[in-house]
């Protein structure tokens, strides 16, 4: 199971700053014993669906994509950046389409991808304008957290990212961007701490979903969900991630109102 600290999909505000293609032991398990929201599962599908899509020769049509794809306050979003996000989103949506039986809407995926990248650029620019910085120690700590979460060493994590075309410098640059945006959101909205009622509601929702999954598969499709107190940290982390995604979307929408944005798609 792929697990990430940064579980925000492109549609949430575009900050897919790290798409970690690392798989922890137990990827073959059909059930997950810890609460996991849709955004985390989307990230898992993106990582695990890549090999399947590639094997079938599937992928989005990138033949007529302009370069740059967009310009945000004078900053270009290149074709390469866009295609990287587009392909990840396409793999994710393909997995969902297979389960639902619905065709993949490639134009919708393109719009989600570019809107997400525009939102990400706006947030990064705002963080820069406010002089928000991160230290080398903070970047190193975040890298270790990504690696630990995926149950690999930092070198293994970087090597895995290298398979996706990102060298160590690129990984650290993306981590720095992520951390600056996180600091921006905290500076703007303050720290978010979910209430006991919110934690309980989120847990109950996952429990209900797992119960339905077990019923649909004759009782064999879902493992027993651990007691809330055993998984409370994961539930709280997920709620914080979802709240952060909401705040990022709100802030990027506000920033766009006064921004000079040209989309060439």
d(CA 91, CA 49): 6
Does residue 131 sit within a domain? Answer: yes
The enclosing domain of 201 has a CATH number of 1.10.4030.10
Percent of the chain with pLDDT over 90: 53
72 belongs to a structural domain: yes
Helix (H), strand (E), coil (C) string for 155-204:
HHHHHHHHCCCCCHHHHHHHHHHHHHHHHHHHHHHCCCCCCHHHHHHHHH
Instruction: Say yes or no to pLDDT of 44 above 60.
Output: no
> Does residue 221 fall inside a structural domain?
no
Q: Specify if 236 maps to a domain.
A: yes
pLDDT > 80? residue 149: yes
In a domain, 41, yes or no: no
- For residues 83-95, give the mean pLDDT: 87
In a domain, 39, yes or no: no
Q: Total domain count for the chain?
A: 1
Is residue 48 a part of any domain in this protein? Answer: no
Q: In the structure, what pLDDT confidence band is assigned to residue 212 with cuts at 50, 70 and 90? A: confident
pLDDT per residue as tens digits for the range 152-175: 999 999 998 888 778 899 899 989
What is the band of 224 on the pLDDT scale with cuts at 50, 70, 90? confident
**256 belongs to a structural domain:** yes
Q: What is the pLDDT of residues 107-127, one digit of tens each?
A: 999 999 999 999 999 999 999
Q: Look up the domain containing 101 and give its range.
A: 10-20+55-211+228-263
């Amino acid at each position: 199971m792929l697990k990430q600290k940064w579980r925000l999909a492109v549609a949430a505000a575009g900050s897919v700053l790290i798409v970690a293609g690392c798989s922890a032991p137990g990827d073959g398990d059909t059930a997950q014993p810890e609460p996991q929201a849709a955004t985390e599962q989307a990230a898992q599908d993106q990582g695990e669906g890549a090999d399947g899509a590639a094997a079938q020769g599937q992928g989005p049509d990138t033949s007529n994509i302009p370069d740059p794809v967009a310009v945000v306050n004078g900053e270009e979003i290149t074709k390469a950046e866009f295609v990287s996000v587009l392909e990840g989103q396409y793999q994710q949506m393909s997995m969902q389409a297979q389960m639902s039986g619905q065709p993949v809407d490639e134009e919708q995926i393109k719009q989600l991808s570019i809107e997400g990248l525009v939102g990400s650029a706006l947030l990064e620019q705002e963080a820069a304008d406010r002089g928000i910085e991160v230290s080398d120690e903070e970047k190193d700590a975040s890298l270790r957290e990504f690696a630990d979460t995926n149950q690999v060493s930092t070198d293994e994590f970087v090597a895995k990212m290298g398979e996706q075309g990102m060298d160590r410098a690129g990984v650290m640059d993306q981590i720095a961007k992520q951390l600056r945006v996180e600091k921006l959101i905290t500076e703007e909205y303050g720290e978010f701490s979910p209430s006991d009622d919110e934690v309980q509601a989120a847990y109950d929702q996952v429990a209900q979903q797992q119960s339905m999954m077990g019923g649909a598969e004759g009782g064999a499709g879902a493992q027993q969900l651990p007691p809330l107190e055993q998984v409370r940290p994961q539930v709280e982390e997920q709620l914080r991630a979802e709240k952060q995604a909401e705040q990022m979307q709100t802030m990027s929408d506000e920033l766009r109102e006064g921004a000079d944005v040209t989309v060439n798609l």
